[in-house]
Amino acid sequence: MDFKRHIAANIKAGELSEEEIYSMLALPPNTEMGDFALPCFKLAKTMRKAPALIAEDIKSAYPADDPLVSEVSAVNGYVNFKIDRAFWAKETLGRVLTEREKYGASDEGKGKTVCIDYSSVNIAKPFHIGHLSTTVLGSALYKLHKFLGYTPVGINHLGDYGTQFGKLISAYKRWGKKEDIEKGGLRALNALYVRFHEEAEKDDSLNDEARAFFKKIEDKDEESVALFEWFKELTLKDVGKIYDLLNVHFDSWAGESFYNDKMQPVIDELNEKGLLVESEGAKIVDLEKYGMPPCIILRSDGASLYATRDIAAAIYRKNTYDFYKCLYVVAYQQNLHFKQFFKVLELMGKEWAKDLVHVAFGMVSLEDGSMSTRKGRVVYLEDVIQKCIEKALAIITEKNPSLENKEEIAKTVGVGAVIFGALYNNKIKDITFSYDKVLNFEGETSCYVQYTCARANSVLAKGGTAKDFAIGQVLPQEFELVKQLSEFPATLKDALEKYEPCFIARYAVDLAQKYNKFYFDCKILNAEEKERNFRLALTEATLITLKNALSLLGIGVPEKM
Ligand code: ARG
């Protein structure tokens, strides 16, 4: 039940509508003051009265017989409302314990398809720590949309087109060995690529050779296309392993090359609409009026560009999925690119261009020095995940040597640490990834949350789950927990609206902290029966909610730790 809604509906404040009151209701800094507060300062002007007097009036007008509200007070220009705690607890626990793994879900997105373009790896290029954020952010947004009733379409817009593939073929034919590449996968391919650049610096003719090979791919030369397809297959096999580990899923792998035959109609349309102009041999859309450099559609040699493909892709997605929104989870370095091609679509008269959203995020660097792809100093994502799993295993072994299934648990903990580490901060912030920080069992981490779940599991294993519980007096620690539990659905809504999975991560840490405070302050198993049952119900509701939160981020929860 939405208590805020209930209170808003009962408040009478001049001409204000229920909606306006609802949006004004705030949370007081501490629960001793109240559970909701209505600030009256903004009303003083229109009502021509001092805020303190307005607060008094609103208080007196509030129905005295509302069973949900145990106290209304007017203090310093605020009207404070206290919800009946037992009522709140009963409502909330009732809901969590019946809805269970569906708690927090809704159907607000019913009938709405949302395309989410994320991870979008480049074929034959290293899948490095820089790809972590787009992958886990996109995946969390995918799961969140699904949970709230939307139909998400996960798209991996593969970087599978460009001159670099000519370079790769040239390098492979010169120095590559089939068995080595088969064994070494992505890393072996990248080594070839790095070697090509070194050698091409000494011998420029290599670049001509690469261009010729690229042309061969475009002309559908059998051998070149077969090599390219093989590189693609090797890449997808390697990244597939990482996607499996991270619980990441895609519905479409239509990459850049998919749009090879879908760009001509776009170019024709741009021409018809008089948007395409010639500039130094290239064809561009002039965006000067909008304070941006031109969007280049065709290079002077007639080749299409990244933006051309993105325009074709957006049109294709609209036609295929009739999306409600199309999200691009891509680093902020590409801000201009997205602004440009969104604008071009708008100028083409696509009214749906307003539904394209660039979900930008900051950079991830490693604590022990930044990385540079060009010099070959690459931190592979796979290595980061493996290292986290190993470290998790060492910690778990030290904490609980007799634990069964340690390897499996370490995997869940290690992978969780990587995902949570990337999702804990507002997405636009640059972050420094630290192994010690993400694996700190007492920190704001997934392992802290997972550990709390293991604690709750062990309480329930000893005490059983409460079938029936009556609620008497609710202690502050219990009430804090109840309130936090009841905020889960609103937190998810908010996270989706702002495209911020970090709200869910923070929520999980908050809930775990509140449970642990409750756990240490209130005895559960040795309490009297009535309290014991209520506290077991609180424990179970916490476990359910924490699991739901983590699973939306792609993180599992071991039974024991
Ligand atoms: N492959 C690109 C890169 O690594 C990201 C593609 C993002 N998606 C898009 N539709 N442009 O930079």
Instruction: Kindly give the distance from the C-alpha atom of residue 113 to the centroid of ligand 1, in angstroms, as a whole number.
Output: 21
pLDDT the model gives residue 388: 97
Q: Is the pLDDT of residue 374 over 80?
A: no
Half-sphere exposure for 441 (CA within 13 Å, toward CB): 15
Atom of ligand 1 nearest to the CA of 125: 4
* Longest Cα separation, the chain: 88
Phi-psi region of 459 (alpha: psi -120 to 50; beta: other; left: phi over 0): alpha
pLDDT the model gives residue 376: 56
| Residues 35, 3 contacting (CB under 8 angstroms) | yes
Atom of ligand 1 nearest to the CA of 334: 12
Is the pTM here over 0.75, yes or no? yes
Q: Whose CA is nearest to atom 11 of ligand 1?
A: 310
Instruction: Kindly give the distance from the C-alpha atom of residue 167 to the centroid of ligand 1, in angstroms, as a whole number.
Output: 20
Q: Is the pLDDT of residue 1 over 80?
A: no
User: Which of the residue ranges 203-207, 209-213, 302-306, 491-495 would you say has the lowest mean pLDDT?
Assistant: 302-306
Atom of ligand 1 nearest to the CA of 313: 10
Is residue 285 classed as helix, strand or coil in its secondary structure?
Answer: strand
Tens digits of per-residue pLDDT, 82-118?
999 999 999 999 999 999 999 999 999 999 999 999 9
The residue count for the chain: 561
Instruction: Kindly give the distance from the C-alpha atom of residue 338 to the centroid of ligand 1, in angstroms, as a whole number.
Output: 10
Nearest alpha-carbon partner for 395 in 356, 424, 346, 435: 435
Ligand 1 pocket, CB under 6 A = 117, 120, 122, 157, 159, 310, 328, 330
Q: Is the pLDDT of residue 7 over 70?
A: yes
pLDDT the model gives residue 369: 61
Per-residue pLDDT averaged across 360-371, rounded? 80
Task: Kindly give, in sequence order, each residue whose CB lies less than 8 Å from that of residue 522, ignoring residues fewer than 6 positions away.
Answer: 475, 477, 478, 531, 535
Hey, which of 117, 120, 235, 332 would you mutate to test ligand 1's pocket, going by the most ligand atoms within 8 Å of its Cβ? 120
Instruction: Kindly give the distance from the C-alpha atom of residue 253 to the centroid of ligand 1, in angstroms, as a whole number.
Output: 12
Nearest alpha-carbon partner for 249 in 139, 385, 133: 139
Is residue 277 classed as helix, strand or coil in its secondary structure?
Answer: strand
Question: Which stretches of 86-222 are assigned E, i.e. beta strand?
Answer: 113-117, 151-155
Instruction: Kindly give the distance from the C-alpha atom of residue 255 to the centroid of ligand 1, in angstroms, as a whole number.
Output: 9
Cβ-based neighbour number of residue 101 at 10 Å: 10
Q: Which residues of 286-304 are buried (b: 16+ CB within 10 A; e: fewer)?
A: ebeeeeeebbbbbeeeeeb
Per-residue pLDDT averaged across 477-504, rounded? 96
Half-sphere exposure for 48 (CA within 13 Å, toward CB): 0
pLDDT the model gives residue 104: 98
| Pairing state between β 78-83 and 36-39 | antiparallel
pLDDT the model gives residue 468: 82
Hey, which of 330, 337, 356, 361 would you mutate to test ligand 1's pocket, going by the most ligand atoms within 8 Å of its Cβ? 330
| Residues 10, 72 contacting (CB under 8 angstroms) | no
Instruction: Kindly give the distance from the C-alpha atom of residue 122 to the centroid of ligand 1, in angstroms, as a whole number.
Output: 8
User: Which of the residue ranges 228-232, 237-241, 302-306, 488-492 would you say has the lowest mean pLDDT?
Assistant: 302-306
The pLDDT > 70 percentage for the chain reads 98
Tens digits of per-residue pLDDT, 309-321?
999 999 999 999 9
Tens digits of per-residue pLDDT, 389-438?
999 999 999 999 999 999 999 999 999 999 999 999 999 999 999 999 99
Tens digits of per-residue pLDDT, 143-189?
999 999 999 999 999 999 988 899 999 999 999 999 999 999 999 99
Instruction: Kindly give the distance from the C-alpha atom of residue 330 to the centroid of ligand 1, in angstroms, as a whole number.
Output: 7
| Residues 44, 37 contacting (CB under 8 angstroms) | no
Encoded tokens for 323: 């999306």
Hey, which of 164, 334, 335, 337 would you mutate to test ligand 1's pocket, going by the most ligand atoms within 8 Å of its Cβ? 334
What does pLDDT average to over the chain? 94
